Chains A and B, each alone.
Chain A
Amino acid sequence: GQSLEQPSEVTAVEGAIVQINCTYQTSGFYGLSWYQQHDGGAPTFLSYNALDGLEETGRFSSFLSRSDSYGYLLLQELQMKDSASYFCAVNRGNTPLVFGKGTRLSVIA
């Protein structure tokens, strides 16, 4: 089977940096995706790591270590609008993504 672990809640101050970790156990690993979901909304794709290392997209970065079965999402210069749930998801190829249970990020002033 497969499992993903991520913290259920994280709180951070506006303007700060926050890291959301994700560890996974799975077979046939191709890569790790990250999604953002605001309350009442649909998940939206943020980033994808197929190889080890850091991928940067504006204020958001995502990191993967395949040898440690570990990844994280880094959000810089936090804004109030970043308050949302963040999901990591394992890509096993042409089979469906398997999602973690999500991390609820609260950004406070």
Chain B
Amino acid sequence: NAGVTQTPKFQVLKTGQSMTLQCAQDMNHEYMSWYRQDPGMGLRLIHYSVGAGITDQGEVPNGYNVSRSTTEDFPLRLLSAAPSQTSVYFCASSYSQGITGELFFGEGSRLTVL
């Protein structure tokens, strides 16, 4: 059971480039989300999805797009990378977060924008 899988684990981009961070889960979880983590800032929500075809914005959505065409996958797209998007990105999923308060996190994707 792989859980939540994120790729790539490391990426370096130049300002203005675009890329997609991949996230897949094999636990049949309806709920998926993307957080970014910066030093001293905790985890801040970018976008989330409560099921296939449904997405919504979080606290810091600007510069990012998401889609949810299947239950398993929830990719995060950076449209035109900026140095302010240098961060560690975590994808998370849950079957019953609203009841148990439990999220399952991927290992993270470390992005540097030059």
Give 1 or 0 for each of A40-79: 1 = CB within 8 Å of chain B CB.
0111110010100000000000000000000000000000
Q: Is A94 an interface residue (CB 8 A)?
A: yes
- Once the chains bind, are A33 and B98 in contact (CB under 8 Å)? no
B42 and A30 within 8 A (CB): no
| Contact between B45 and A96, CB atoms less than 8 A apart | yes
Q: What residues of chain A lie closer than 8 Å to B33, measured between beta carbons?
A: 96
- Residues of A85-109 at the interface with B, using a CB-CB cut-off of 8 Å, are 87, 89, 91, 93-94, 96-102
Q: Find out whether the CB atom of B41 lies under 8 angstroms from the CB atom of A91.
A: no
Interface size on B, residues (CB 8 A): 24
Counting residue pairs across A and B whose Cβ atoms lie within 8 Å, the total is: 58
Q: Which one of A42, A89, A98 lies within 8 Å of B90 (CB-CB)?
A: A42
A91 — nearest CB in chain B belongs to which residue?
A: B101
Minimum CB distance partner of A32 in chain B: B101
In the complex, the answer to whether B102 meets A101 with C-beta atoms within 8 Å is no
Whether A94 contacts B40 by the Cβ 8 Å rule is no
What are the residues of chain B within 8 A of A42 when measuring CB–CB? 90, 105-108
Beta-carbon contacts of B88-111 to A below 8 Å, as 1s and 0s? 001000000110111111111000
| Residue B43 at the chain A interface, CB threshold 8 Å | yes
Q: What 0/1 readout, one digit per residue, does chain B (44-74) give for beta carbons within 8 Å of chain A?
A: 1100101000000010000000000000000
A sample of 10 more A-B contacts (CB under 8 A), given A94-B31, A96-B33, A101-B42, is A30-B101, A41-B107, A42-B90, A42-B106, A43-B43, A43-B105, A44-B105, A45-B103, A87-B43, A91-B101
Residues of A within 8 A of B (CB): 8, 30-33, 35, 41-45, 48, 50, 87, 89, 91, 93-94, 96-102
